[in-house]
Amino acid sequence: MLGGGSTLAFDPMGRLLILDYADRTRSADEERGPPGLEELGDEEYRGPLVFRLTGERPLPAPRRLERIPPLFPRPWGARSQTTFVSRLISVAVTATGDLLCLSTAGELFRLTPDGTLGLFARLPPGQYNRTHLVAAPDGAVFVSGGFHVARIFRVSPEGAVTTVAKNLADPEGIALDDRGDLYVAESAFHRIVRLRLGTS
């Protein structure tokens, strides 16, 4: 039922956030969900899961995600959801503790600390995979578009999307240094590109 964690991030309080995906078609028809996540099967939920490990109490390793209540969805239920959410593949945590999660459809969702998920921005149409996000101190987030999109985007704190760089060869990993320079792994050329933002 669990598709496997796709990406990780730490929030400002040092808690580990994990994205996963629930898909009933991955399990046999007679198989129930793992202990603690039975509601997923009962409600025929298919969609993203977000877990948050607090580390407040010692648990034996390895920790089992299916035994930890997810931060999203809450309350349970595909039936109670008004919209379908595509698979979430990348995550960044803002300074305020909100999660910005990118879907395979190029939708950027904001997940608040109380588990409320809402659409924040839409990137240009494309097939988004092998993507990464990085949050900036000013509240913006940068997105590497991956092989099919081949661009780097900046999403403002208000959700406005602008293109920072284009025609890149499979941009994947992305990082921001203390000076505001952006580093991008241009995977097809086996090199790291530095983008000096705000300079000509």
pLDDT digit string, tens, across residues 170-179: 999 999 999 9
Q: Are 169 and 186 a contacting pair, CB within 8 Å?
A: yes
Q: How far is 135 from 127, CA to CA, in rounded Å?
A: 22
Average pLDDT over residues 134-146: 92
Lowest mean pLDDT of 69-83, 119-133, 182-196, name the range: 69-83
The reported pTM is: 0.75
Average pLDDT over residues 96-111: 89
Tens digits of residue pLDDT in 8-21: 888 877 888 887 77
Q: How far is 122 from 102, CA to CA, in rounded Å?
A: 9
Q: Among candidates 148, 135, 156, 145, which has minimal Cα distance to 184?
A: 145
For residue 156, is it within any domain?
no
88-93: strand order across its sheet: 88-93, 99-103, 107-111, 117-122
Tens digits of residue pLDDT in 42-67: 556 667 778 877 766 665 665 666 66
For residue 98, is it within any domain?
no
Give the total number of structural domains in the chain. Answer: 1
For residue 102, is it within any domain?
no
For residue 22, is it within any domain?
yes
For residue 2, is it within any domain?
yes
**157 pLDDT band (50/70/90 cuts)?**
very high
Q: Give the per-residue pLDDT at 47.
A: 72
For residue 58, is it within any domain?
yes
- Structural domain range at position 55: 1-84
pLDDT at 198 over 70: no
Average pLDDT over residues 187-192: 92
Average pLDDT over residues 2-7: 62
Q: Give the per-residue pLDDT at 59.
A: 58
For residue 119, is it within any domain?
no
For residue 126, is it within any domain?
no
